[in-house]
Amino acid sequence: MLAKTFKGFAGAAMTSVLILGISNPAFSKTRNEYMTEVVSGCSANASSCGALIEAAMAEIIEAGGSFGSIAGFVGRLTKQATKAAVKAGGSVEAIGSIAVAATNSVEAVKEAAGDANITTGLNSAVMGIAASTASAMNSLAEAGTITPAQAATATATAISAAAAAAPTKAAAKTLSSVASAAASGSVSMSSVSSAASGAASAVESAAAPSGGSPTQAASPG
């Protein structure tokens, strides 16, 4: 009993250390380093992935810089973190929490940017969140981890939230259409995933100028 208790405590402590390590300003990193650390954390514990993303993005946003570039990074980070969580046997709840954390981060970037025009980066982020979530839910359904109905419901919820965070009516409309298709139950999850991926691909090239390089430093030093 004591051994089980200690094991549970140790696991929780490791997750806390990972989150604190990301959120503490003393741990300033480049975005590639943030990417590596978050993906590693997601691979080790899929259920902590959302918290790791939100903590990393909070520090990056606080450090400042090009908010268009930061917005674009949200989508890239979400994609890699979601893939890692799926490989780690992530649940529908874990993937859902990643989508929530990423969408919250998009809203935080919008607030920090103020009146700056970062529409391209924000579009890239919300489309990336939708595509990553739909792909992950489809993978879980195909693996038999969750039912297609569960995948469709969770996908519709996540993409609807991303649509609400979209910076333009056009992007919101596109995402809402994908969410509606998932919610209808009459469209296969593979088709929903393809539609979300297609929407993300459509903005990818346009996002490149403001999305910036993923190797750009998040903070000086």
pLDDT single digits (tens) 189-221:
999 999 999 989 887 765 554 434 333 433 333
Task: Give φ, ψ of 79 to 5 degrees.
Answer: -60, -50
User: Own/partner pairs for 15-21, CB < 8 Å, 24+ apart?
Assistant: 15/41, 15/45, 15/48, 15/51, 18/48, 18/52, 19/48, 19/51, 19/52, 19/55
Q: Decide: pTM greater than 0.75.
A: yes
Dist CA 60 CA 86 (whole Å)? 25
pLDDT single digits (tens) 47-71:
999 999 999 999 999 998 999 999 9
Residue 156 corresponds to which tokens in the numbers above?
């519709």
Residues with Cβ < 8 Å from 160, sequence gap 6 or more? 175, 176, 179
